[in-house]
Amino acid sequence: MKLIVNICGMTQQEHAQLESIDAILRSETVRQQILPIIERVRAELARKKEALMTWEPIPLTVFGRALPTEIRSAWVFVLRAGADTGAERHPNSHQRMMTFEGSGNMQTGEPSLWQSNVLVSNPDAPLEQRWISIPQNVWHRPVVGADADWIVVSFHTVPAEELIEEKPDDRSQDGTKQMKYLDRK
């Protein structure tokens, strides 16, 4: 099993990488370009009453050349208040995710034994309470409190059109079902 790079097990290199991306996201210029995307994704969730979440890629040009070279796509996700979107993993990408607004529990591990990772949007909170780093192929499961939607910004190591979501599926031969995020729109 792969090590979950999080609060206790975060390497210095990973911590430095998250600090770098965090500084970029704190830039007023970047935030002003992300806010319209958040509003579109939030409006889409309001229109889709049955949806647990909605999302949209962020053009990497928003970040200039400041992102680490291994980051190949960025996304805004709005997860509905009270949602549990179920277990998923990305077989082709390392995910780094921060809480932009609201809070939620990004559970990690195995579907039968979840580790809780409560994340908050307070900019004064320590990095480890606002960010999570999820290596390739590690199961994760966002669970959102009933009070408010959870808005996150997520960074992946594959281009948007290649990002695969894999979910458990008892009906398939290998026990999972894969789909590209952009094909789910």
For 91-143, write each residue's pLDDT tens digit.
999 999 999 999 999 999 987 899 999 999 999 999 999 999 999 999 999 99
Residue 131 class from Cβ within 10 Å (0-12 exposed, 13-18 middle, 19+ buried)? buried
Q: How far is CA 99 from CA 48, 103, 110, 139, 177, in A?
A: 22, 7, 22, 19, 27
Count of structural domains, the chain: 1
At residue 183, does pLDDT exceed 80? Answer: no
| DSSP annotation string for 90-112 | -TT--EEEEEEESEEEEEEEETT
Asked if residue 3 is part of any domain, the answer here is no
The helix (run of H) or strand (run of E) holding residue 33 is: helix 28-47
Strand partners, 107: 141
| pLDDT band at residue 9 under the 50/70/90 scheme | low
- 72: amino acid identity, one letter: R
pLDDT score of 175 = 74
Residue with tokens 């409006």: 43
103 belongs to a structural domain: yes
With respect to residue 7, please indicate whether it lies within any of the assigned structural domains. no
Could you tell me how many helices (H) and strands (E) the chain has, helices first? 3, 11
Does 3 have pLDDT greater than 60?
no
Q: Is residue 5 part of a domain?
A: no
Integer CA distances (angstroms), 124 to 34, 115, 121, 128, 144, in order: 20, 24, 9, 11, 21
What is the extent of the structural domain holding 141?
A: 12-184
| 172 inside domain | yes
Q: pLDDT tens for residues 46-76?
A: 999 999 999 999 999 999 988 999 999 999 9
Q: Please check whether residue 152 lies inside any domain of the structure.
A: yes
150 part of a folded domain? yes
| Domain CATH code at residue 26 | 2.60.120.10
Q: Is 34 part of any domain?
A: yes
